[in-house]
Chain A
Amino acid sequence: MRALVIDDSRVMRKIVGGNLRELGFETVEAGDGQEALDVLDSGVEVDLACIDWNMPVMDGLTFVTKVRANPELRGITLMMVTTESEQGQIVRALAAGAHEYLIKPFTPQAMREKLELLGLVSMREYA
């Protein structure tokens, strides 16, 4: 399983990526939504994208919308990982096509539980 970690903060990419690697994922990184689209356009295949909301160049919500509009990318599970914790923002992200929503700050256990809900951790364990 490979995950794309999208966050303008290198520190947060390190933290999120570290948690994912602990769960057995390979990780690739992008500093904003456009950079993430470029990664996907280059042919890198990922199973999961963890997406910050507020980023320069292209924000996370726009990235989600663009991925969902591309049938070739429909297999990617999209999880927002963000400080945007108002109910309205969560609804917007889910309506745009995000599968799950993890609010910062989060613990490694919280991330694991979200990935279990998505079937990604257990899928890997039984693969």
Chain B
Amino acid sequence: MSTIMDYGSVYEIAQAVFAAMIDGDEGLLLPWDGDPPVIDDPVVSWVEVEGPIVGRAALTTSRDTAHALARALMGMGADEPVSDDDLVDAFGEIANVVGGNVKALLPDQGTLSMPQVATELPPTDYPMVHELHLAWRGDPLDVVIWLNRVNPEGEI
């Protein structure tokens, strides 16, 4: 399954989303340097892919970093408080745009669920195809993709 979507393609999507929506510049979302980080007080946003290929695209980061992402996305000042609603909306939208562009790489069209945000992911039986440990402005942020073909006879 991962042959249709290599690590570099997922990373390029994440970089493009952060550059266009959040930073206005590439280079602020980089591969994590070192052992995979432990993300304290995590916030997770994800969308589900439904169709001939099912799966999930998820972003995980710390609550503090999620707040910073929301502020950056909404053009807020560094000290402005972010409401819970705005945090869910902003962090969910980032997952939505990443997931939508990941879905576009799939050979079969499907649909995308509404984004969801929580403190942990619900379990899934889908195989993980890519796990990207990234650093946004130095803070850890993971992007993880799970995919599975509904009909295993059409294995890619």
Contact = CB atoms under 8 A, between A and B. Distances in A.
Contacts of A14: 74
B55 interface: no
Interface stretch (B29-37, B85-93, B122-130, B140-148): B85-93
B113 to A, nearest CB: 8
A14 B73 CA distance: 10
Contacts of A85: 100-101, 104
A7 B91 CA distance: 15
Interface stretch (B2-10, B13-21, B58-66, B131-139): B13-21
Nearest to A82: B100
Contacts, number: 58
Contacts of A84: 100, 104, 112
B96 A11 contact: no
A96 to B, nearest CB: 16
B114 interface: yes
B114 A11 contact: no
Contact of A18 (B75, B93, B97): B75
Interface string A1-39: 000000011111011001000000000000000000000
B74 A107 contact: no
A83 B86 contact: no
Interface in A91-115: 104-107
Interface in B40-96: 70, 73-75, 85-86, 89-90, 92-93, 96
A20 to B, nearest CB: 15
B93 A105 contact: no
B49 to A, nearest CB: 12
B16 A105 contact: yes
Contacts of B104: 84-86
Interface of A: 8-12, 14-15, 18, 54, 56, 82-86, 88-89, 104-107
Given A9-B89, A11-B73, A85-B104, 10 more contacts: A8-B114, A10-B85, A11-B70, A11-B74, A11-B93, A18-B75, A54-B96, A84-B100, A88-B109, A105-B21
